[in-house]
Amino acid sequence: MMTRVRWSVALALIALGVPGVAEAQSKALVLFVNGGRWTTISNLGAAGDRFTADWTYGGGVGLQLSPKVAFRASAMRLRTTYIGDTITPDDRDVTRVYYMGDLQVGWPTATGWAPYVYFGAGAVATDPDDASLESFTDFVSRGGIGVNYLTKVGVLFLEMDGWLWRLNSLDVSFEGVKFEFSVRMGYAFVIPF
């Protein structure tokens, strides 16, 4: 019963926009959503095969351990098109979902701005629309920078990151590490505890 009351009070304070609720607490649960632009920097292979740039959306949950350190778990969905001739699917659309775990280290300021860096690892699940190609999952890592801005009702943020992965799961030779880049904006709800 007491836990339910604490959660209700925390949510009510956030909903009412009481300033400094998130700032005053060093530990918090953070729920976030984001969206942005994704682009491939390196080709899939020497022949120039690649995935097109597209919009992405996602979200996740974080555990703020101190004003400077947080762990995050997130998922991001991206729909792209395969461009190239190494494989010849009838349908070139591909859905990719990235699952990540990150460590975030930030530097909060009295003005409400908090720049941060983050790095992590996870998996990218690739699901081609073409029935002749099987779905597969590969390891992925990322690192990036971002900035939070604390408002009365939550946190606005902007992130830029680079992703490294290998396309190892198709029956073709796409050798080498692939590099992709994304820029995302988002909103986070902070629930102190």
Residue 23 pLDDT level (bands cut at 50, 70, 90): very low
Task: Look at residues 41, 38, 37, 44 and name the one whose alpha carbon lies nearest to residue 82.
Answer: 44
Determine the pLDDT at residue 169. 63
| Residue 1, token pair as written in the block | 């019963």
Nearest to 95 by CA among 72, 71, 129: 129
CA–CA dist 180, 57 (Å, integer)? 16
Most confident of 49-53, 78-82, 119-123, 126-130: 119-123
From 191, 184, 186, select the one nearest 54 (Cα to Cα). Answer: 184
For residue 84, give every residue at least 6 positions away whose Cβ sits within 8 Å of its Cβ, in sequence order, or none. 44, 45, 47, 48, 49, 50
Q: Is 127 left (phi over 0), alpha (psi -120 to 50) or beta?
A: beta
Summarised one tens digit per residue, pLDDT across range 66-79 is 999 999 999 999 99
pLDDT, one tens digit per residue, over 138-157 is 899 999 999 999 998 899 99
| Other beta carbons less than 10 A from residue 181's beta carbon | 17
pTM of the model: 0.80
